[in-house]
Amino acid sequence: MKHDHFIVQSPDKPAQQLLLLFHGVGDNPVNMGQIGSWFAPVFPDALINSIGGVEACGPDGRQWFSVQDVSEENRQARIDAIMPTFIETVRYWQEQSGVNAVATALIGFSQGAIMSLESVKAQPGLASRVIAFNGRFATLPETSSTLTTIHLIHGGEDRVIELSHAVAAQEALIRAGGDVTLDIVDELGHAIDDRSMQFALDHLRYSVPKHYFDEALSGGKPNDDDIVEFM
């Protein structure tokens, strides 16, 4: 599969986790790779890869779908048109790394967060974690699986993707029985800062997925494949 990407970290031994990064409109995988560098010391056994959008956007940028004349009415259709390629890209890197979905995290900012959120709506269980910085769903989910733990991290002063979208996403996922957290970063706009990153790192290291509790209450136990996690 040919697509722009930037390897942030590739461990010498077989990877135990896979962290895939997805940038915003007009950005590129090298720039987004700087976010990946925060995760590398914490997850030294992870393959960390920053993925570029499929279309050129601006002099040095990429995008997954055009935002020209985008609206609430046409956004979902644009995402649906490219979603098979996005999912194929995630599957490709899972195969290349030898890491399955339960040890895969999708980490996106802005449009990259939108694509990550929409991907686990379209393909439940595609990854075990989604970190969505300043993102949203195109349309709110009516169903949700606890196979994926979703961490929403949003600037309180975001005027590009309003905080209300993250709040609505959290509420919809809770109603649907999903596994979700929301952290609001005070006085932050449409950006990622060190507070955002600390939220993300803490969630990957310390948050216990809801499905573990569900399995314990039902008298079950995690599958062996679930043992390799982000904690």
Q: List active site positions.
A: 110, 158, 190
CA angle 119, 99, 41 (to 5 degrees): 95
> Nearest to residue 88, comparing CAs of 173, 183, 2, 180?
2
Instruction: Please give the Cα distance from 186 to 202 (Å, whole number).
Output: 18
Instruction: Please give the Cα distance from 1 to 94 (Å, whole number).
Output: 13
Bridge partners, 150 (sequence order): 130, 180
Instruction: Please give the Cα distance from 174 to 162 (Å, whole number).
Output: 20
Phi, psi of 74 (to 5 degrees): -110, -5
Instruction: Please give the Cα distance from 75 to 167 (Å, whole number).
Output: 19
Q: Which amino acid is at 86?
A: F
Instruction: Please give the Cα distance from 218 to 231 (Å, whole number).
Output: 23
